[in-house]
C-alpha cells in the first residue's frame, strides 16, 4: 500500500465550445438522433489555434495554486501525462517548469499514455512520495486530440474534447489513502487507436470489445487485491469514454447507478484528463465527500488499463 494521498484537484477547459448543432452544420449527413443516445455527449471544449496541451495544463495548475493557496515553491516534482506534447523534444514538463515558475530543483518529466494515464501517474507520484523522493508532486494531464481529428471523422469528432487537469499528491501518515493498483498492457491492440500522419484512427468495435472484456476483469482484480467488496465502494469513476461504454460496464458488473459518476455530457472524452476532471466534478456536485472510498478505472489506447482505490481527502 502506498502512503500517499491526493490533496487537491483543479481543471481547465478551453473557451471554445463546439455543440452537436455545430457539428451537424458542418456534417449534415450525421444523424444526431442516433449519435447522441450512444455517446451521451452534447458539447465539447476545443483548444484554439496555437493553444497547446501545456497551455491547458498550466492554466489548471495555476488554478490549483490560486484556489487552494498552494506555495508553488513547495512543489518538488512535476509529472506531465500527454499524447499531444508541445514538442518531440524538449520534454514539455521542462517547458512548464519555467512557465509555472517552479524551483529549479524540481524533478520534471513527461510520460506518453492515454486514457489510463491518470492511474499510472498516480502510481508514479504515489511511489515517489512513499519512497521519500517527493514531498509534493504536481501531476498534470492534458490533451488536444482535436488537432489530430479530421473534420469529417464522425467516430472521433463527436466524442473527444480537449482539457487539462492538475492534481497534487503528497505523503500520507495514514495508510490506505491511495492504492492498491492494478496495471496492465496488451500491445496487440496498438493499431486500434493510433495517430498516423497526424490523423487519429480508431477501430471503434475492437476498442469497445476490449473494454467490455478487460474493465470488468480489472475491477474484480482490484477488489480481490484490496480485500474489498463492490458494496464497499462509495463511487466508481471510470474513464469518461462515452455513455454506451459506461452503460455496458455498469450492466456487466451489475453496479448501482447511483454509485457511478458520469461527467461527459458537456465536455466529452478528455482522455487522460477525464478521471481527475470527473473527480473534481463529483466533489463540486456533492457526489463524493471526505472519507469516501472511490474506485478509479482508466482504459484505452495501447491497449492499456489501470485501476486504483482512493480514499477521498477533499473538503467534507
Strand pairing class (293-300; 304-311): antiparallel
> In whole angstroms, what is the distance from residue 75 CA to residue 103 CA?
8
* Helix, strand, coil percentages for the chain (3-state, nearest 5): 40, 25, 35
Q: Element (H or E) spanning 75, and its range? A: none
Distance between start and end Cα atoms, the chain: 24
Helix or strand or coil: residue 71? Answer: coil
Quote the cell numbers at residue 76.
Answer: 518538488
Q: Is 239 a catalytic residue?
A: yes
Helix or strand or coil: residue 171? Answer: strand
Which residues have CB under 8 Å from 141's CB, separation 6+?
57, 80, 81, 82, 117, 118, 121, 164, 165, 167, 271, 272, 273, 276
Q: Is 218 a catalytic residue?
A: no
> In whole angstroms, what is the distance from residue 274 CA to residue 276 CA?
6
Quote the cell numbers at residue 3.
Answer: 502512503
> In whole angstroms, what is the distance from residue 215 CA to residue 305 CA?
8
What's the sign of the alpha-carbon dihedral 276, 95, 84, 162? positive
Helix or strand or coil: residue 194? Answer: strand
Q: Is 81 a catalytic residue?
A: no
> In whole angstroms, what is the distance from residue 163 CA to residue 11 CA?
8
Set 8, 45, 115, 141: catalytic member: 115
Set 8, 81, 218, 239: catalytic member: 239
The position carrying cell 504536481 is 138
- Known catalytic residues are 115, 239, 269
Amino acid at each position: 500500500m502506498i502512503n500517499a494521498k491526493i490533496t487537491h484537484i483543479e481543471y481547465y477547459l478551453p473557451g471554445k465550445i463546439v455543440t452537436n448543432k455545430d457539428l451537424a452544420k458542418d456534417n449534415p449527413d450525421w444523424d444526431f438522433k442516433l449519435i447522441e443516445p450512444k455517446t451521451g455527449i452534447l458539447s465539447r471544449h476545443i483548444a484554439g489555434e496555437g493553444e497547446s496541451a501545456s497551455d491547458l495544463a498550466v492554466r489548471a495548475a495555476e488554478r490549483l495554486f490560486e484556489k487552494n493557496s498552494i506555495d508553488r515553491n513547495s512543489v518538488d516534482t512535476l509529472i506531465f501525462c500527454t499524447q499531444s506534447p508541445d514538442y518531440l523534444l524538449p520534454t514539455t514538463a521542462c517547458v512548464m517548469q519555467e512557465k509555472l515558475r517552479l524551483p529549479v530543483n524540481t524533478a520534471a518529466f513527461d510520460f506518453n499514455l492515454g486514457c489510463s494515464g491518470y492511474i499510472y501517474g498516480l502510481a508514479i507520484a504515489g511511489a515517489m512520495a512513499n519512497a521519500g523522493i517527493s514531498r509534493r508532486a504536481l501531476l498534470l494531464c492534458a490533451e488536444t486530440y482535436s488537432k489530430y481529428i479530421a473534420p469529417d471523422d464522425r467516430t472521433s469528432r463527436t466524442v473527444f474534447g480537449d482539457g487539462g487537469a492538475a492534481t497534487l499528491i503528497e505523503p500520507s501518515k495514514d495508510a490506505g489513502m491511495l492504492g492498491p493498483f492494478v496495471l496492465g498492457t496488451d500491445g496487440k491492440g496498438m493499431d486500434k487507436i493510433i495517430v498516423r500522419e497526424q490523423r487519429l484512427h480508431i477501430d471503434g468495435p475492437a476498442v469497445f470489445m476490449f473494454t467490455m472484456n478487460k474493465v470488468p476483469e480489472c475491477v474484480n482484480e482490484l477488489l480481490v487485491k484490496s480485500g474489498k467488496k463492490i458494496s464497499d465502494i462509495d463511487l466508481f469513476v471510470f474513464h469518461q469514454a462515452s455513455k454506451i461504454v459506461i452503460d455496458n460496464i455498469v450492466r456487466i458488473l451489475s453496479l448501482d447507478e447511483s454509485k457511478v459518476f458520469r461527467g461527459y455530457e458537456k465536455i466529452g472524452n478528455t482522455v487522460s484528463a477525464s478521471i481527475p476532471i470527473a473527480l473534481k466534478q463529483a466533489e463540486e456536485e456533492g457526489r463524493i465527500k471526505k472519507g469516501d472510498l472511490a474506485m478509479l478505472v482508466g482504459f484505452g489506447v495501447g491497449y492499456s488499463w489501470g485501476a486504483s482505490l482512493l480514499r477521498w481527502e477533499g473538503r467534507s
